[in-house]
Structure 1
Amino acid sequence: MGPQARTLHLLLLLLHVLAKPVQLIENSDFHLAGDYLLGGLFSLHANVKSISHLSYLQVPKCNEFDMKVLGYNLMQAMRFAVEEINNCSTLLPGVLLGYEMVDVCYHSNNVHPGLYFLAQDDEFLPILQDYSHYMPHVVAVIGPDNSESAITVSNLLSHFLIPQVTYSAISDELRDKRRFPAMLRTVPSASHHIEAMVQLMTHFHWNWIVVLVSNDDYGRENGQLLSQRLIRTGDICIAFQEVLPTPEPSQGMGPEEQSQLDNILEKLQRTTARVVVVFSPELALHGFFREVLRWNFTGLVWIASESWSIDPVLHNLTELRHTGTFLGITIQRVSIPGFSEFRVRHTKATQPISNKTSPRATCNQDCDACLNITESYSNVLMLSGERVVYSVYSAVYAVAHALHRLLRCNQVRCTKEVVYPWKLLRELWDVNFTLLGNQLFFDQQGDMPMFLDIIQWQWDLSQNPFQSIAFYSPTKQRMTYIHNVSWHTPNNTIPMSMCSKSCQPGQMKKPVGLHTCCFECVNCLPGTYLNLSADEFNCLPCPDSMWSHMNAITCFKRLQAFLEWHEAPTIVVALLASLGFFSTLAILLIFWRHFQTPMVRSAGGPMCFLMLVPLLLAFGMVPVYVGRPTVFTCFCRQAFFTVCFSVCLSCITVRSFQIVCVFKMARRLPRAYGFWVRYHGPYVFVAFITAVKVALVAANMLATTINPIGRTDPEDPNIVILSCHPNYRNGLLFNTSMDLLLSVVGFSFAYMGKELPTNYNEAKFITLSMTFSFTSSISLCTFMSVHNGVLVTIMDLLVTVLNFLAISLGYFGPKCYMILFYPERNTPAYFNSMIQGYTMRKS
């Protein structure tokens, strides 16, 4: 090449350099040229120092705000990710990613960058009817970091379907894809952060907490989410919830704010709650914690929301270690190789440093002090694992993978074409890739289900200042406990934060006041137990077949009591029943053999068999009283025995009436006597009484039940008495009343016939039977009214057997004695002589 050609070449090269835009050199931290530009929104500054920016129509100046260390750290993460992707030959080969990043100053500068990103390269935003083929300045936007700013920007970008991937905005409001169709995020939503907090408090049995929130959307929304979650749980109560005062810009804490803060700290000092949950941006807490230090609080547990859980500036207040234990919820720790060195990398010495804003700048990007301030926290940031930067890093990679799909890239090249944001958004929803060992994808709400870390603040310079103690899985919604916590308490004991101490096993909680966490412990009485999984505030009664001692948590099976064959009372009654059965069978056979004799006919003739057969069956059915009650045995007890007894009583009653009628009323009322004989009056009377008795028994069974039940023994609650339904006593009262009436009537007629001939005079036998029946029934009713034990069943059976024996032996016994041992008196001649003698004495 000749000298002239060489000179021309150098001149062209110089013109090419001089023609480069000035802002590319001046603002290299904020702008990188490329084939496709990504927009970045970061809070490098926040906590405005004055309100002067409200008096003119210009973007805020950096010197009007405090430096936000983490914001600059996150911006560097986006720069690092873009440069790493550009240096990678496989993800986007032949494609150069660029970026345009803006300092949004937390809340103060949101709309202006959004409009700038929507405009074209000539900063013109046309009003069109169809934006399907519109090319904005950027193809996607990363950020901003807080929910309020993210919602503001998304309201602009979503109308154009420009993908927006936020890395730190956790509001549940952003999950509504009808309002924010282009919004995605690389962090779990606020609901998962709240759930991790609740599970943390549940793990350490803290149920009495204080909630402090900032006076903004972030504090109010998260405070409400926590309150709603605790209401659903019911195990954790809020002692009080207060809004932290926010001083006016450019002013210190005013008298009103100071008084409000003093009232909060005074309440915090008086309360028994030792756990304090704080939802607030980090920059608003500096003044609060300085006041906490001034009040000399100790022994508290501070639970930090994600907004300040890893803030290095607050952590730099080392005196906070004396106030208690600091725990926080933050994103999963993922180490990014090479980033720590990149973060503190100085710009080239040849690059001029200027505080002036370039013509195309969207915010005053004079951040000369950013790197210097960040370097002072370099050790803390490095030891903390650069936690949130992975969310920015993964957001940039998610957009790059979507571009990879949209541009149909392979290992060597991509098809460069016009990328419309709405097409990129469609591909972004479907990305699924692995980045530094984590599988990344977006769920149906547009969230990336990253793990959350529960961290503890440490102040030992040789270790991680934010030590992981547990992690929370959004997909499983479960916290896993990993490490022990070093509590800032004597002997490293877990702080207690409970309105009331835990009750002992078997003690129910009696609420005191409005909070369910404040209660008294009351012992569960015998017969009740406490089922913690069902109800902590009520002792549940044990089932009928079970019992419990005082302060029981379970019931045990009670001993079942009923008549058994091996017991002495049962053996005695069984012997009496056997005596009755065999004696009645013998009487039946004797009467059958001597049926035509005057003695049998004078005793009632055929009606004797109507009495003896039920007696025989009743004695044979006595075993139904022994053993475990069943429906059949209860039916026999309540129906069969009482009907048989009533049949016998009605037969005796009508027999007594018939004897008196024959000897005294036949001659006075001959027509009535003829009517009585003609229509078989005795049998009609017995049938009527039996029908009435059957109706009473049936009505009683229908009104109650014949199913056996268990009743607690009043003398020993550990025993349950198995018997027939106790309501049968009401029916027994009617049944007994009818039997008593028959006994009285039979007794009366027998007494009226006491002067009859000896062979016909059965008054003393009937009187004996009826008197015994009357007194035994009265005794049984009295005993049942004052006693409920197993003896009731024994007494019921004993009285029943004795009543039948009284009829069998008391009424029929003398007849058999006369038939067997005085046959000469069982002749018609002897009976006629007795009647003639009675008639002559009456004449």
Structure 2
Amino acid sequence: MGPWARVFCSLFLLLQVLAEPAENSDFYLAGDYLLGGLFTLHANVKGIVHLNYLKVPKCKEYEMKVLGYNLMQAMRFAVEEINNHSSLLPGVVLGYEMVDVCYVSNNVQPVLYFLAQDNYFLPIQEDYSQYVPRVVAVIGPDNSEAVVTVANFLSLFLLPQITYSAISDQLRDKQRFPALLRTMPSADHHVEAIAQLMLYFRWNWIIVLVSSDDYGRDNGQRLSERLTGHDICIAFQESLPVPQPNQVMTPEEHSRLGAIVEKLQQSSARVVVVFSPDLALHNFFLEVMRRNYTGAVWIASESWAIDPDLHNLIELRHTGTFLGVTTQNVPIPSFREFRVRRRRAGPPPRRSSQASTCNQECDQCFNTTETFNTVLTLSGERVVYSVYTAVYAVAHALHSLLGCSETGCTKEVVYPWQLLKELWKVNFTLLGHQIKFNQEGDMPIPLEVIQWQWGRNQNPFQSVASYYPTKRQLRNIGYISWHTPNNTVPLSMCSKRCQPGQRKKSVGIHPCCFECIDCLPGTFLNQSADEYDCQPCPSIKWSHRNATSCFKRRLAFLEWHEAPTIFVALLAALGFLSTLAILLIFWRHFQTPMVRSAGGPMCFLMLTSLLVAYTVVPVYVGLPTVSTCLWRLTIFPICFTVCISCITVRSFQIVYIFKMASRLPRAYSYWVRYHGPYVSVVVTTALKVAIVVGNLLTTSPSPTARADPDDSQVMIFSCNPNFRSLLLVNTGLDLALSVVGFSFAYVGKELPTNYNEAKFITLSMTFYFTSSVSLCTFMSVYSGVLVTIMDLLVTVLNLLAISLGYFGPKCYMILFYPERNTQAYFNSMIQGYTMGKD
């Protein structure tokens, strides 16, 4: 026996319990082609498991579900409208046969009945491509679990099945369910609409309640995945207990519901998303009302978003604001009157003796529908339109398959796979909406966000927003009456939003729970980059506390209009002019003993270097550039070293002539023959040039900015960021030369008066040494804008110390005591010094 034989032999026993359908107009209409309908007309609201082993449930023993009967009437209305008022199937009578599936309990029985033929047997065949079941297509059932059960049977025969409200994403798998189509968007779009609703109202701290079945678990997981990365956190997720088969809530169920509601009351989250069939919610909401839990925003999935039975619990209005996602409102003309149209008077239809089940009975359906007619009318024909659309989709597929014209159709045998092929191609307009199936078998009709209302003559399910699956956008968000004081939007946030310029510091495991910490001065918060860290401002910019951007700092440098700059410039001008005057005086009295005793030609080298050094002073003023920095870092140090080395060599030379030449005559002859003074100056200067070049190679001369320590909004623009170390390196050689020159001057303090320059050299070198050490000390403790002016001031004072301290007394003697500037006077001084030594 093959696999098909084993499958259908196991199903044969179930077919024996099938009853002959009653010719009740609510459930059966004869026709050339029959449509099967699966609807939930009865369900046990206290227990969803009714099925005993190999026994069809007695559905009418349970509560009547008015919404299910309303959907069944929509199918009847669509079929009769096509037969009576449409040229869609001219000459063809479309019939129907419907069964009450009793929620999920009665799925196998009707699907086997639809697959069987008139003899109620399902034959075992090797190839079913030429097999003709009782119906050409099946509309329904309503929930995902029941649809999966039915689709597993129908897909084996490729018998078209169109469900009107099951949204599970697993139904999009066409390899598993090739014959299944839907007249509504998938769960992905329902979850997307809920997520965008929370993003719009900035709810980032929510609670998720799911039923303990595939529907609840799958959609809860899908919502969690959708919210990941959008700063929306789930405070907790709980599974609602499934009611047991008996109609009494067990103590365990009651305790479980009480614990869930207590957890809701203790949580700071005020938005509760509920993915659950309506039957599992009655006991839960009764517990919510019993414990007086209020102030929440309840977001309903499509399974209970427009359920009139739950809405009939009037006290729910005190528990908070109810929002739900469902299909759009499409009024169907004349359907309201059809829904409450009574059957023709007459004896009840004859039923066979086998008809012992209630799957085609509904004693209270009409009366209950009349009671709820106002609510059903005001709420709009939402899911009703999905059923209405499904019937018309089958009719259009038959129209194409039968080759219908305006006058008639060819009544041929319709095989399931042929009709399924045409169903995938349908594309028509119905009540102003385009009807066609996408590649996944879904119909992306718009969804609506509705709010529950309880006012008289008020739409119980008022539309407040629209969601468009093709664009994946939530739009047209309108007025919502919130269950809050002053009708303000409820807050549901673990932490309040941080103010601009405040970073988040996580608290706990949820990213939505955080503290807000101010960004410190000098940093800013770029929310598009990172909300948890403040970014530092660039070096040339700054920011205040709680800043979201940086502003450009004010650049500080020496400017000509400032008083310190003017003072130093005047000193530099005085030094330059006095040095120039000294140079002219020395040039005019070049052959005099006073000029020769000061160094002779070497004096002009010193004076020229001083003049060049004075010309460097203006480059300290103004905005630093690469060229001005090069002048400051090269010209002045070299010129100043030339002066210091000349003074040091001159001091050594005088001491050597008077105290060491007689003892070392050969050394003195070498010193004179090989121009010892000039060689020493050249060597010292070359060493300084090497130091300067080394500094330039290791440190860029480009101007840089650094923050003013006294005012963070000010940037000090200088030539070198490592000015302290650079100053020490540049002045190290000069300091050493000044110490050596000071030592030689001190040794020669007893020389003849005209040659005794110890006090002048001592004064100059002492001033230079002291000023340099003071400047280094000042720079080590302060790095403000005064560093530049102090550096310039010390530079000018050192130049003045040499110009006036060393050469000034010589000029004074030349100009005011010419009688002392004679060879005879100098010889007498030397003779007196020699005799004194003897």
Distance in 2 (CA, whole Å) between partners of 1:70 and 1:169 is 15
1:124 aligns with 2:118: no
Distance in 2 (CA, whole Å) between partners of 1:296 and 1:133 is 61
Distance in 2 (CA, whole Å) between partners of 1:830 and 1:430 is 129
Task: Note the C-alpha offset of 1:280.
Answer: 1.0
> What SS does the corresponding residue of 1:754 show, helix, strand or coil?
helix
Work out whether residues 393 and 426 of structure 2, in 8 Å CA contact, stay in contact via their aligned partners in 1: yes
Which residue of 249, 269, 273 corresponds with 2:269?
273
Q: Residue 223 of structure 2 aligns with which residue?
A: 226
> What SS does the corresponding residue of 1:232 show, helix, strand or coil?
coil
Q: Residue 317 of structure 2 aligns with which residue?
A: 321
Q: Residue 26 of structure 1 aligns with which residue?
A: 23
Work out whether residues 301 and 324 of structure 1, in 8 Å CA contact, stay in contact via their aligned partners in 2: yes
Task: Note the C-alpha offset of 1:501.
Answer: 4.0
Q: Residue 106 of structure 2 aligns with which residue?
A: 109
TM-score after normalising by structure 2: 0.88
Work out whether residues 60 and 362 of structure 2, in 8 Å CA contact, stay in contact via their aligned partners in 1: no
Question: Structure 1 pair 183/119, CA: closer, same or farther in 2 (3 Å)?
Answer: same
**For 1:422-433, what aligned pairs fall within 5 Å after superposition?**
422=417, 424-433=419-428
Q: Residue 4 of structure 1 aligns with which residue?
A: none
Work out whether residues 697 and 731 of structure 1, in 8 Å CA contact, stay in contact via their aligned partners in 2: no
> What SS does the corresponding residue of 1:753 show, helix, strand or coil?
helix
1:285 aligns with 2:278: no
Q: Residue 191 of structure 2 aligns with which residue?
A: 194
Q: Residue 13 of structure 1 aligns with which residue?
A: none
> What SS does the corresponding residue of 2:281 show, helix, strand or coil?
helix
Q: Residue 778 of structure 1 aligns with which residue?
A: 773
> Any unmatched runs of 5+ in structure 2?
1-18
Distance in 1 (CA, whole Å) between partners of 2:573 and 2:617 is 9
Task: Note the C-alpha offset of 1:569.
Answer: 0.7
Q: Residue 793 of structure 1 aligns with which residue?
A: 788
Work out whether residues 45 and 280 of structure 2, in 8 Å CA contact, stay in contact via their aligned partners in 1: no
Question: Structure 1 pair 816/268, CA: closer, same or farther in 2 (3 Å)?
Answer: same
Work out whether residues 451 and 464 of structure 2, in 8 Å CA contact, stay in contact via their aligned partners in 1: yes
1:732 aligns with 2:732: no
Task: Note the C-alpha offset of 1:741.
Answer: 2.0
TM-score after normalising by structure 1: 0.87
> What SS does the corresponding residue of 2:464 show, helix, strand or coil?
strand
> What SS does the corresponding residue of 2:228 show, helix, strand or coil?
helix
Task: Note the C-alpha offset of 1:382.
Answer: 0.8
Q: Residue 16 of structure 1 aligns with which residue?
A: none
Opposite residue 279 of structure 1, the aligned amino acid is F
Distance in 1 (CA, whole Å) between partners of 2:117 and 2:676 is 121
Task: Note the C-alpha offset of 1:768.
Answer: 1.8
Question: Structure 1 pair 392/626, CA: closer, same or farther in 2 (3 Å)?
Answer: farther
Task: Note the C-alpha offset of 1:421.
Answer: 4.6
Question: Structure 1 pair 243/808, CA: closer, same or farther in 2 (3 Å)?
Answer: same
Question: Structure 1 pair 765/287, CA: closer, same or farther in 2 (3 Å)?
Answer: same
Which 10-residue stretch deviates more, 378-387 or 722-731? 722-731
Which residue of 253, 259, 263 corresponds with 1:263?
259
Task: Note the C-alpha offset of 1:630.
Answer: 3.2
Question: Structure 1 pair 770/475, CA: closer, same or farther in 2 (3 Å)?
Answer: farther
Task: Note the C-alpha offset of 1:519.
Answer: 3.5
Task: Note the C-alpha offset of 1:472.
Answer: 2.2
Question: Structure 1 pair 378/771, CA: closer, same or farther in 2 (3 Å)?
Answer: same
Work out whether residues 116 and 362 of structure 1, in 8 Å CA contact, stay in contact via their aligned partners in 2: no
Question: Structure 1 pair 584/245, CA: closer, same or farther in 2 (3 Å)?
Answer: same
Q: Residue 386 of structure 1 aligns with which residue?
A: 381
Distance in 1 (CA, whole Å) between partners of 2:468 and 2:261 is 35
Question: Structure 1 pair 791/379, CA: closer, same or farther in 2 (3 Å)?
Answer: same
Which residue of 40, 57, 67 corresponds with 2:37?
40
> What SS does the corresponding residue of 1:40 show, helix, strand or coil?
strand
Distance in 1 (CA, whole Å) between partners of 2:427 and 2:654 is 110
RMSD: 3.4
Which 10-residue stretch deviates more, 712-721 or 794-803? 712-721
Work out whether residues 93 and 409 of structure 1, in 8 Å CA contact, stay in contact via their aligned partners in 2: yes
**For 1:87-486, what aligned pairs fall within 5 Å after superposition?**
87=84, 89-117=86-114, 123-124=121-122, 126-128=124-126, 137-158=134-155, 161-234=158-231, 236-350=232-346, 352-353=348-349, 364-406=359-401, 411-412=406-407, 421-422=416-417, 424-486=419-481
Task: Note the C-alpha offset of 1:820.
Answer: 4.9
Deviations 1:308-363 (A, max 9, x none): 1110000111111122221211111111112222223333334734676878x998
Distance in 2 (CA, whole Å) between partners of 1:415 and 1:683 is 126
Question: Structure 1 pair 357/753, CA: closer, same or farther in 2 (3 Å)?
Answer: farther
Work out whether residues 35 and 135 of structure 2, in 8 Å CA contact, stay in contact via their aligned partners in 1: yes
Distance in 1 (CA, whole Å) between partners of 2:34 and 2:672 is 125
1:69 aligns with 2:66: yes
Question: Structure 1 pair 266/25, CA: closer, same or farther in 2 (3 Å)?
Answer: closer
Distance in 1 (CA, whole Å) between partners of 2:592 and 2:417 is 121
Deviations 1:369-404 (A, max 9, x none): 333333322111111002111122223333444444
**For 1:685-704, what aligned pairs fall within 5 Å after superposition?**
685-704=680-699
Question: Structure 1 pair 168/653, CA: closer, same or farther in 2 (3 Å)?
Answer: farther
> What SS does the corresponding residue of 2:69 show, helix, strand or coil?
helix
Question: Structure 1 pair 565/477, CA: closer, same or farther in 2 (3 Å)?
Answer: farther
Q: Residue 17 of structure 1 aligns with which residue?
A: none
1:625 aligns with 2:620: yes
Distance in 1 (CA, whole Å) between partners of 2:644 and 2:364 is 117
Which 10-residue stretch deviates more, 204-213 or 84-93? 84-93
Distance in 2 (CA, whole Å) between partners of 1:108 and 1:334 is 31
Distance in 1 (CA, whole Å) between partners of 2:669 and 2:401 is 121
Work out whether residues 102 and 363 of structure 1, in 8 Å CA contact, stay in contact via their aligned partners in 2: no
Distance in 2 (CA, whole Å) between partners of 1:770 and 1:569 is 25
Opposite residue 208 of structure 2, the aligned amino acid is V
Question: Structure 1 pair 281/89, CA: closer, same or farther in 2 (3 Å)?
Answer: closer
Work out whether residues 521 and 545 of structure 2, in 8 Å CA contact, stay in contact via their aligned partners in 1: yes
Question: Structure 1 pair 561/375, CA: closer, same or farther in 2 (3 Å)?
Answer: same
Q: Residue 86 of structure 1 aligns with which residue?
A: 83
Question: Structure 1 pair 356/224, CA: closer, same or farther in 2 (3 Å)?
Answer: farther
Work out whether residues 39 and 99 of structure 1, in 8 Å CA contact, stay in contact via their aligned partners in 2: yes
Identity rate, percent: 72
Q: Residue 5 of structure 1 aligns with which residue?
A: none
Task: Note the C-alpha offset of 1:157.
Answer: 4.1
Which 10-residue stretch deviates more, 73-82 or 396-405? 396-405
> What SS does the corresponding residue of 2:122 show, helix, strand or coil?
coil
Distance in 2 (CA, whole Å) between partners of 1:373 and 1:677 is 134
Distance in 2 (CA, whole Å) between partners of 1:369 and 1:83 is 23
> What SS does the corresponding residue of 1:499 show, helix, strand or coil?
coil
Distance in 1 (CA, whole Å) between partners of 2:109 and 2:683 is 106
Opposite residue 738 of structure 1, the aligned amino acid is L
Deviations 1:393-427 (A, max 9, x none): 22333344444455555555556656555555455
Question: Structure 1 pair 25/114, CA: closer, same or farther in 2 (3 Å)?
Answer: closer
Q: Alignment length, in residue pairs? A: 819
Work out whether residues 47 and 243 of structure 2, in 8 Å CA contact, stay in contact via their aligned partners in 1: no
Task: Note the C-alpha offset of 1:199.
Answer: 2.8
Distance in 2 (CA, whole Å) between partners of 1:535 and 1:626 is 42
Question: Structure 1 pair 50/331, CA: closer, same or farther in 2 (3 Å)?
Answer: closer
Distance in 2 (CA, whole Å) between partners of 1:737 and 1:191 is 77
Work out whether residues 58 and 357 of structure 2, in 8 Å CA contact, stay in contact via their aligned partners in 1: no
Question: Structure 1 pair 768/416, CA: closer, same or farther in 2 (3 Å)?
Answer: farther
Opposite residue 711 of structure 2, the aligned amino acid is D
> What SS does the corresponding residue of 1:303 show, helix, strand or coil?
strand
Task: Note the C-alpha offset of 1:567.
Answer: 0.9
Question: Structure 1 pair 531/32, CA: closer, same or farther in 2 (3 Å)?
Answer: same
Work out whether residues 482 and 488 of structure 2, in 8 Å CA contact, stay in contact via their aligned partners in 1: yes
Work out whether residues 147 and 170 of structure 1, in 8 Å CA contact, stay in contact via their aligned partners in 2: yes
Question: Structure 1 pair 519/763, CA: closer, same or farther in 2 (3 Å)?
Answer: same
Task: Note the C-alpha offset of 1:457.
Answer: 0.9
Task: Note the C-alpha offset of 1:93.
Answer: 4.2
Which residue of 751, 756, 762 corresponds with 2:751?
756
